[in-house]
Amino acid sequence: MLRRELLGGLALTHLLGAATHHPAKAKRVIQVFLSGAASQCDTFDYKPLLIRKAGEKWDPGEKVELFQSNPGVVMPSPWGWKRYGQCGKWVSDLFPKVGACADDITFIHSMMSKSNVHGPATFMQNTGFILPGFPSAGAWVSYGLGSLNENLPVFVVMPDPRGMPPNGPANWGGGFLPAAHQATMVKVGTQTPIADLDPPQGTYVTPRSESDGLALLQRINRDHQSARPGDTRLEARIASYEMAARLQLSAPEVLSIEGESAATRKLYGLDDPRTSDLARRCLVARRMAERGIRFVQIWSGADNGFPRRNWDSHENLKADHGMLANELDGPLAALLIDLKARGMFEDTIVCWTTEFGRMPCSQGSLGRDHNPAGFTTWFAGGGFQGGVSYGATDEWSYKAVEKPVYCYDLHATLLHLLGIDHKRLTYRNNGIDRRLTDVHGEVIREILA
């Protein structure tokens, strides 16, 4: 408490209804991170020029420095495009169900990254820095706002079951913030979704030894403490075992989707093997949001490697983006629909994030190389307008030319909606009052409802 005030963080307690810098529009965030760099020009950034000039030598009028290759020919998206909703948004056939939600989405087409390498760029979207060692946005939110539900963690991450993204768990670490703010990893649908939540099977621990043991432990800790007054840490540690016991009861309930209706199962696509994993994770995310978890991050895509298991489609865009989009489209759209149906859409931010975009020209004959100069991200719910497109790339979908946006602005806007002034949420580390937004960031007011 004292420490936070002095370090410049919000002077908040970790209690319900904590004060914010200004009234918050949103209470929580669900972020889907498309690891490996999802293409903007095959999803939401429609450029008819690519279709007209298909197969021609690509000449944007300047030297282009690519990650792996020389620029190839102009490559139109292998998917068709349709207009959706009142807003008439063009969305490719890769994401028809998300497209149908276009009126609820704010698209930002003028994203830029400071790195075209997955590791640093993935760090950037998560932490605001291209170097390791900085806290992720979720950790900052945990530090700034604390918990809505003392019996559950504040920040939860559900990685792709195929593996970790580039940088691994460092993407959702607490950096220099106290360890309490790092994400709790939840491996949905596995034997042990949360590490150490319960003792492993087949040990000497029994339900009785557990309950008697905790009672005795608390007793001896209290005896120890009463002989040592004036040390709040001893009390805090006693309390932490009580919280742990509550967490043991609440966590399985959040993860259990057995009670969900048949309609909900169908909406998310739980019973279709293609979508069942993301359906489960999106549904669990909704359950987490309902129960007060502040920040939920869902990963689509794991590390690099073959066969491709992330969005890094250097070799064969159609095959690899196609597979991943098939998994994600239905469950993600279902999440938006479900949040609306439950009246949670207004105070829950859903975001689509990727580390950079892909080139409008081909790499080899079937793939696309990295493009840090222009890509798309989107938001829905929680104080954003719907049916809006902000910023633009050039006619090729190559470079952000209109209202360029960096992650700093996204983070500033996100924090703003959560009631936090990004310039005043700071933590002193190695001589600098660090912020999620470094020394940058403007709230994008134009897209707020």
Distance of closest approach, residue 110 Cβ to other proteins, in angstroms: 20
**Residue 290 tokens, joined:** 């309902």
Distance of closest approach, residue 71 Cβ to other proteins, in angstroms: 9
Q: Which of left, alpha, beta for 383 (phi over 0: left; psi -120 to 50: alpha)?
A: left
For other proteins, give the closer residue by CB, 111 or 121: 121
Residue 184, judged by CB atoms within 10 A of its CB (0-12, 13-18, 19+), counts as middle
Distance of closest approach, residue 109 Cβ to other proteins, in angstroms: 23
Contact 220/212 with Cβ under 8 angstroms?
no
For other proteins, give the closer residue by CB, 10 or 392: 10
Q: In this structure, what DSSP letter does residue 133 have?
A: S
For other proteins, give the closer residue by CB, 250 or 276: 250
CA dist 207 to 199, 200, 210, 213, 251, Å? Answer: 10, 13, 5, 10, 18
For other proteins, give the closer residue by CB, 54 or 341: 54
Q: How far apart are CA 232 and CA 160, in angstroms?
A: 39
CA dist 219 to 222, 224, 249, 280, Å? Answer: 5, 9, 22, 41
For other proteins, give the closer residue by CB, 6 or 15: 6
Q: Where are the extended beta strands (E) located within 5-148?
A: 28-34, 81-84, 89-92, 105-111
For other proteins, give the closer residue by CB, 143 or 384: 143
Distance of closest approach, residue 73 Cβ to other proteins, in angstroms: 10
Q: Where are the extended beta strands (E) located within 302-374?
A: 348-354, 357-358, 370-371
Q: Is 154 helix (H, G, I), strand (E, B) or coil?
A: coil
Distance of closest approach, residue 8 Cβ to other proteins, in angstroms: 8
Distance of closest approach, residue 208 Cβ to other proteins, in angstroms: 7
For other proteins, give the closer residue by CB, 287 or 308: 308
Distance of closest approach, residue 330 Cβ to other proteins, in angstroms: 26
